[in-house]
Amino acid sequence: MADVKTANLQTALAALDQISQNEKSGFISLVSRHLSGEAEQIEWSKIQTPTDEVVVPYDTLASPPEDIEATKKLLNKLAVLKLNGGLGTTMGCTGPKSVIEVRNGFTFLDLIVIQIESLNKKYGCDVPLLLMNSFNTHDDTQKIVEKYANSNIKIHTFNQSQYPRLVVEDFMPLPSKGQSGKDGWYPPGHGDVFPSLMNSGKLDALLSQGKEYIFVANSDNLGAIVDLKILNHLIHNQNEYCMEVTPKTLADVKGGTLISYEGRVQIVVSMYIKNQVETLAYTCAISPRSFLRLHKFLMLIWVNLKAIKRLVEADALKMEIIPNPKEVDGVKVLQLETAAGAAIRFFGHAIGINVPRSRFLPVKATSDLLLVQSDLYTLVDGFVIRNKARTNLENPSIELGPEFKKVASFLGHFKSIPSIVELDSLKVSGDVWFGAGIVLKGNVSITAKSGVKLEIPDRAVLENKVINGPEDI
């Protein structure tokens, strides 16, 4: 049955001229693996918490060379790649998410360019920036990068693969059913970064320029900056793959968990939810306390370019397949995706580095935008620096209602962003408007009654307050 489905799929794909032969081959391979049901069965009793040799504490890394020439030599072996395939639609914006303004009029992409440009200028090095786009973001990105033509940085763009969505009913490509628009296609997850680098020719180009490592991160993670200590460690120890991790908490339900398994480091994706911690920890023969010391994968990876070439050419990167069901115009479809973190077990001498959580500063919603636009951070040479006046190592918990979901609406509700250096938590519900110069401290909850506009006056100081109307301010 699986062979029949694959054969029919190959015939249908042959008639689609929107994608390359490499993309067709990659898609057929992914579908074939999915239909075969191949999946490595993990024996939970063999799971171990990684040791410091496998997940290296950041504080134990040697300092990078202080000599500028030595640092230049180090950086000249590096390229930076930002995943740029996502749209800003969930935050009410059009075009690539990387062009949303995050601070002082600068977009994510502006800050990335400024950061790398400042490195190149300071050390006289040549660190290039690569943007992996999707078919959703390619055209807009090509126009946007023109503004950096005079920058001290080489910017290269390429597209990740474009695969057809599968109709669940008969496992045929949605585009062959008459869905000729973008809804018939999908980008197959960031695990596709390795073959796409190879197929685009960018991998060979980087190798010809003497590059050895590539640092890969999401474009919306403001904490994902080049770290010389990490780069120095990897080059010195010849690690083929490094995953940045941070200790998991009960709040970290999504994402992968780094484990030691039969002498190798690997990632297990979405392996537990909050109320299953004790059960799973028992099954894994480790205590719940130890289980929670397992590590959260931050989608910050450093990979040796020659190793990528070797493994892609050997078709050895058989990462776990993530089935992602969707619905398009009432038709149930399936997307098969892979994650870049799952590739760790295929690389030699792979490690994790247990980094400070400050390297994980993603902006996924306007609540994150409030954090990075506030006095909790300042901007220096494109780098978002945390305010040292904040004594609590954790960032405040911020929960904003649907009135604040879109960026334009969010900005319209604030005359200026409040001071939150001493804030622990903020919950806002309803049509709440903030004046200028407001200070929030401790735990603050503000609720506007349905149909009522609640205004917080200029220069108000709210500390450990529950506000349900003007009389509570």
190 is in an annotated binding site: yes
* DSSP 8-state secondary structure symbol assigned to residue 419: B
DSSP-assigned states of every residue in 53-95 = TTEEEGGGSPPPP-SHHHHHHHHTTEEEEEEE--BSGGGT--S
Alpha helices in 305-364 (DSSP H): 305-313
Contact 246, 296 (CB under 8 A): yes
Residue 351 phi, psi (nearest 5): -135, 165
332 is in an annotated binding site: no
**Per-residue CA distances from 64 to 60, 73, 125, 129, 295 (Å):** 12, 12, 15, 22, 25
Alpha helices in 15-55 (DSSP H): 21-36
Q: Which two tokens stand for residue 441?
A: 């401290």
Pairing assessment for the beta strands 213-218 and 295-304 based on DSSP bridges: antiparallel
Tokens 């990068």 found at: 145
What whole-number distance in Å separates Cα of residue 94 and Cα of residue 101?
Answer: 12
189 is in an annotated binding site: yes
Other Cβ atoms closer than 10 A to 240: 22
220 is in an annotated binding site: yes
What whole-number distance in Å separates Cα of residue 404 and Cα of residue 422?
Answer: 22
Numbered residues of the known binding site for substrate: 190
Numbered residues of the known binding site for UTP: 97, 160, 189, 220, 364
Numbered residues of the known binding site: 97, 160, 189-190, 220, 364
